[in-house]
């Protein structure tokens, strides 16, 4: 018999709708039941693509005896962390404080008032490998709650007070200067893996925002070490098993220190951030590998993660047919069957496919040797090698398409869509890809048309239904993406939509007294506390993207109020930047924009002319992390244009022209791409 989750739209919650557990979604019904019956709440938080979430469901939540215990002694609440990042953030901090680590599935025991008193992550059904069994944990929490209520109340109050103290970062008057970035780089350097790239050991996460900071640091200082750290990491990731060598796109993270064995789920946000990072690295270095990764990753998103409405899906599972990674791994025989003996000989040597395998007897495709070494060992010429590899990839991708694919979470989240929106818009501009431009415009229309209700941005969309009030990250990420679409198309609609979101963001999330952003709006339901995430984790936090969007909006509109709020937000984390740069990468990017007087570029059309496109190609061919771009079809010699950057701008002798400005003080207009490149590089 199904439980209450049957009426939800989240694929993760629907996966649990037929468990024997009497699950409730988070809401007043569950909280009121816990208060009325004086039962503790068992809060379980996970997400659709989470491998260990599936394991715990099979082992415990589908176990009739364990479910009966949960139903008898607890009010069990299931939450999709992707729909409710506010709850996830609050209770993850509690679990990390209790255990020293966090992760999903997350299991937290709460008082009927929602206060946490015990928690953990995955629990096996019985004691195993030093972990207490879930059945034993349930018995213990039941006994503690019934017989030691004073201890539970004391522990919960202590945890809540710690959470509130962590939430009290406020803006301070200390100056913002380049020394903060320099000290952040010095803090990063000792943790770098000089052999494999990345930071620390296993498990190793991609951390795209940290690498983006390294690229910016190199750009602003000329420091070669930062560039070397970036290049080693990007090359190792792109050639390892964490990158899908056949279909493009990145898996979540590497379980080892050398990027070979991933957790196989694919998340939209990882691929949005990594495709953009590789695009920026391509602009800065011209490396063909980086270009290939950008195009393969975005092509994968178009092929497998884009809905008919223009929205981007959230994730793909790690498991298929109940086995982690089964969809992605190969034996030599499978490769030979698809490619033929001679092509398979070359392909297997290049992609490390062996009889012994590198993952549970099968093979994750990766590139352990340089192409030169493969050429030497196989005695083939470079052109033949490339043709064989490309032919083999096409054939194996077709063969893989006949396998049972991993599950796909087809809900569209505003924040994650905003991340991917910016990546498509930037790639469309740099690579002149019309399909990427079409995808960006379609997604912008989807977000503004389907996820806005009475002026309020909503969080999630699935099956024609939008729900849940948007969070700070939804507002800031979508506004950031819309600004990129404006700079791609110069359609004022997208700038107006972005500004409307930025103004709504300030109204709902900005605290004038503390001069900080909170993650939930002033119209949000009351929770244990009003969460405020300041660290950039797998995704940037809402506040860091808000600061960056405010800075660009200030340039495009001339409204210094936006810049002042961004500066206040930056000052609230300034003391943390040199200490925790691994967790503040996007903040460091916003700081770089703030400290660098950004280049302001105005293009006067006709914008679709080859002459104007040549000017834009010159602009987009350069790595310019701190710039704002505006364009118009006709000149505005009268100075009446609403955008300060476009006032008094005209064509030159009837030809499209580009103006490079700083603080709206502009150099002479140029009409040739080479001239513009020189102006921008000056």
Considering the domain boundaries, does residue 290 fall inside one? yes
Regarding whether 69 and 192 lie in a shared domain, the answer is no
Q: How many Cα atoms sit within 13 Å of 395 on the Cβ side?
A: 16
Do 511 and 518 touch, CB atoms closer than 8 A?
yes
Do 436 and 422 touch, CB atoms closer than 8 A?
no
Considering the domain boundaries, does residue 632 fall inside one? yes
Question: How confident is the prediction for the chain on average, in pLDDT?
Answer: 96
Distances (CA, A) of 79 to 53, 86, 644, 651: 12, 11, 46, 56
Residues in CB range of 560: below 8 A, 6 or more apart: 554
Q: Cα(88)–Cα(459) distance, rounded to whole angstroms?
A: 15
| Residue 286, Cβ density class (10 Å: 0-12 exposed, 13-18 middle, ≥19 buried) | exposed
> Which tens digit of pLDDT belongs to each residue from 20-29?
999 999 999 9
Regarding whether 305 and 447 lie in a shared domain, the answer is yes
Considering the domain boundaries, does residue 173 fall inside one? no
Percent of the chain past pLDDT 90, that is, above it, reads 93
Predicted pLDDT at 637: 81
Mean pLDDT of 131-148: 96
Final residue in a domain of this structure, among 355, 372, 403: 403
Predicted pLDDT at 327: 97
Q: 396: which 2 tokens?
A: 């194996």
Regarding whether 140 and 96 lie in a shared domain, the answer is yes
> Which tens digit of pLDDT belongs to each residue from 225-279?
999 999 999 999 999 999 999 999 999 999 999 999 999 999 999 999 999 999 9
Q: 271: which 2 tokens?
A: 């691929």
Regarding whether 537 and 427 lie in a shared domain, the answer is yes
Residues in CB range of 99: below 8 A, 6 or more apart: 119, 120, 121
Regarding whether 604 and 583 lie in a shared domain, the answer is no
User: What are the residues facing 363 on neighbouring strands?
Assistant: 330
- For 243, the 3-state DSSP assignment is strand
Q: 143: which 2 tokens?
A: 């006994």
Q: Is the dihedral of CA 676, 678, 681, 682 positive or negative?
A: negative
Mean pLDDT of 616-628: 97
Q: How far is CA 669 from the centre of its chain?
A: 38
Final residue in a domain of this structure, among 121, 139, 166: 166
Considering the domain boundaries, does residue 610 fall inside one? yes
Regarding whether 343 and 277 lie in a shared domain, the answer is no
DSSP label at residue 462: E
Is pTM beyond 0.85? Reply is yes
Nearest to 471 by CA among 480, 462, 459: 459
Q: Is the pLDDT of residue 371 over 90?
A: no
Considering the domain boundaries, does residue 172 fall inside one? no
Q: 47: which 2 tokens?
A: 């997400």
Do 183 and 577 touch, CB atoms closer than 8 A?
yes
Q: Count of CB atoms within 10 A of residue 201's CB?
A: 12
Q: How confident is the model at residue 369 (pLDDT cuts 50, 70, 90)?
A: confident
Predicted pLDDT at 635: 84
Considering the domain boundaries, does residue 623 fall inside one? yes
Q: What is the span of the domain harbouring residue 333?
A: 328-403
Ranges of H-type helices in 578-653: 585-595, 610-620
* Segments of 325-413 assigned E as strands: 408-409, 412-413
DSSP assignment of 16-44: TTTSSS--EESSHHHHHHHHHHT--EEEE
Q: 573: which 2 tokens?
A: 């984390």
């Amino acid at each position: 018999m199904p439980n209450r989750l049957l009426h939800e739209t989240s694929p993760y919650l629907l996966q649990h709708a037929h468990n024997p557990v009497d699950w409730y979604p988070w809401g007043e019904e569950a909280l009121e039941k816990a208060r009325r019956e004086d039962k503790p709440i068992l809060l379980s938080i996970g997400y659709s693509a989470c491998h260990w979430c599936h394991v715990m469901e099979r082992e415990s939540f589908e176990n009739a005896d364990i479910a009966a215990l949960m139903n008898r002694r607890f009010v069990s609440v299931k939450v999709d962390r992707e729909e409710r990042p506010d709850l996830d953030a609050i209770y993850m901090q509690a679990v990390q404080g209790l255990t020293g680590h966090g992760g999903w599935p997350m299991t937290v025991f709460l008082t009927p008032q929602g206060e946490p008193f015990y928690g953990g992550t995955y629990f096996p059904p019985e004691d195993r490998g030093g972990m207490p069994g879930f059945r034993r944990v349930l018995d213990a929490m039941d006994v503690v709650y019934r017989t030691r209520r004073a201890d539970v109340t004391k522990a919960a109050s202590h945890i809540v007070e710690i959470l509130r103290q962590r939430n009290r970062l406020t803006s301070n008057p200390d100056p913002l200067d380049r020394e903060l970035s320099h000290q952040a780089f010095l803090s990063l350097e000792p943790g770098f893996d000089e052999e494999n790239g990345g930071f620390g050991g296993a498990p190793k996460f991609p951390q795209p925002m940290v690498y983006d900071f390294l690229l910016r640091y190199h750009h602003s200082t000329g420091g070669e070490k930062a560039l070397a750290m970036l290049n080693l990491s990007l090359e190792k990731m792109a050639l390892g098993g964490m990158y899908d060598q056949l279909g493009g796109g990145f898996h979540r993270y590497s379980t080892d220190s050398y990027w070979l064995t991933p957790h196989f789920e694919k998340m939209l946000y990882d691929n949005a951030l990594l495709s953009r990072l590789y695009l920026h690295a391509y602009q800065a270095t011209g490396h063909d590998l980086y270009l290939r990764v950008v195009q393969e990753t975005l092509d994968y998103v178009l092929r497998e993660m884009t809905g008919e409405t223009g929205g981007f899906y959230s994730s793909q599972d790690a498991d298929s047919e109940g086995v982690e990674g089964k969809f992605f791994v190969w034996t030599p025989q499978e490769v030979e069957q698809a490619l033929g003996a001679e092509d398979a000989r070359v392909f297997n040597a290049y992609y490390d496919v062996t009889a012994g395998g590198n993952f549970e007897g099968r093979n994750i495709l990766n590139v352990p040797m340089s192409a030169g070494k493969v050429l030497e060992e196989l005695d083939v010429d470079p052109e033949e090698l490339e043709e064989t590899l490309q032919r083999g990839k096409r054939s194996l991708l077709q063969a893989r398409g006949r396998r049972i694919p991993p599950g796909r979470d087809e809900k569209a989240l505003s924040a994650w869509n905003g991340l991917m929106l910016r990546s498509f818009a930037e790639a469309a501009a740099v690579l002149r890809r019309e399909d990427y431009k079409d995808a960006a415009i379609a997604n912008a229309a989807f977000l503004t048309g389907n996820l806005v209700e009475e002026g309020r941005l909503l969080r999630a969309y699935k099956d024609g239904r939008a729900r849940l009030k948007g969070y700070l990250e939804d507002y800031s990420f979508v506004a950031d993406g819309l600004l990129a679409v404006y700079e791609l198309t110069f359609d004022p609609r997208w700038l107006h939509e972005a500004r409307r979101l930025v103004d709504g963001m300030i109204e709902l999330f900005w605290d004038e007294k503390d001069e900080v952003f909170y993650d939930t709006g002033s119209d949000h339901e009351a929770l244990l506390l009003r969460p405020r995430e300041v660290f950039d984790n797998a995704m940037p936090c809402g506040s860091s993207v808000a600061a960056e969007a405010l800075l660009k909006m200030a340039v495009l509109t001339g409204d210094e109020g936006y810049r002042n709020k961004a500066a206040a937000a930056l000052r609230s984390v300034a003391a943390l930047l040199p200490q925790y740069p691994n967790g503040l990468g996007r903040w460091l990017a916003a700081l770089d924009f703030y400290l660098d007087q950004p280049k302001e570029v105005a293009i006067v059309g006709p914008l679709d002319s080859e002459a104007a496109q040549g000017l834009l190609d010159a602009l987009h061919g350069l790595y310019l992390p701190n710039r704002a771009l505006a364009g118009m079809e006709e000149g505005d010699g009268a100075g009446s244009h609403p955008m300060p950057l476009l006032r008094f701008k005209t064509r030159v002798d009837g030809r499209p022209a580009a103006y490079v400005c700083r603080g709206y003080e502009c150099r002479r207009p140029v009409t040739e791409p080479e001239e513009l490149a020189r102006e921008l590089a000056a």
